[in-house]
Structure formats: structure tokens, C-alpha cells
Amino acid sequence: KADKAALDSKVDSSQFEENMEQLDERMQDLQSQISDQEQHWNEVLQKFSDAMEGKMDRLELKAFRKHLEESLNRSIEGFEKRVKDDGGAGIKRQLPVPFSCLSCDRMLSMQVPGP
């Protein structure tokens, strides 16, 4: 068993308490700084969000916004139509006439297959 006197000489309780208080103060300061920084970022984000919302609600930009929305809707509809129409792995289309060789680009005369 350890001697209590030897243990007391190795660990000074008052020094330990003082160090723990300093550590606690530092932790509180850091926590306060982090909280302040988070509050600052939230304020900046809110200002930016308000500014962007105000920009898109201005009368000059309403037509532009409407045009963007219509263009997006047309693109989505076109994409959906292409996906619905394309049911197979390949697409059957009429080949262009006259045919040309892929390697030498020489004109070929071939019978066009049916539709």
C-alpha cells in the first residue's frame, strides 16, 4: 500500500484546484467565443438570405424569374417525353440517304431498309 504522506507530497490539492479553475475559465472563454462566432455567422447568413430574396422579388427580375421557371419546366417536360418514348435499348430511325463509308467517307449505294 502507498504511504499517505508520500501521496500528499506528490499531488498538491491546492495547485490541482487552481489549475482546474484556470482550465474551466479557458473552456468557458472558448465556449463563449464559439457561441459568438455562431451567432455572427447566423446573422450574416440571414442578411445574405434576405438580400437574395429581395433581389428575386424586385419588379425588374420577375420577368427573368418567370422565364427561367418556364425554361426549366420545358426542359423537364422534354426530358420526360424522351424517357417515355425511348422504350428500347436502341432507337429505330430512318437512316440518311445516301450512305457513306465510315472509314473512308466514300459514297455507297445501298437499298434502304423498311421503317
pLDDT digits (tens, 9 = 90+) for 43-72: 888 888 788 777 666 666 777 778 888 888
How many whole angstroms separate alpha carbon 18 and alpha carbon 3?
25
Print burial letters for 79-95: b (CB count within 10 Å at least 16), e (below 16). eeeeeeeeeeeeeeeee
List Cα–Cα distances, 1 to 8, 33, 88, 96, in angstroms. Answer: 14, 46, 84, 99
Better pLDDT: 59 or 93: 59
How much is the mean pLDDT over the chain?
76
pLDDT at 24 over 90: yes
Boundaries of every domain in the chain: 13-80
In this prediction the pTM is 0.38
Q: Beta-carbon neighbour count of residue 65 at 10 Å?
A: 13
Q: Mean pLDDT across the stretch 7-34?
A: 84
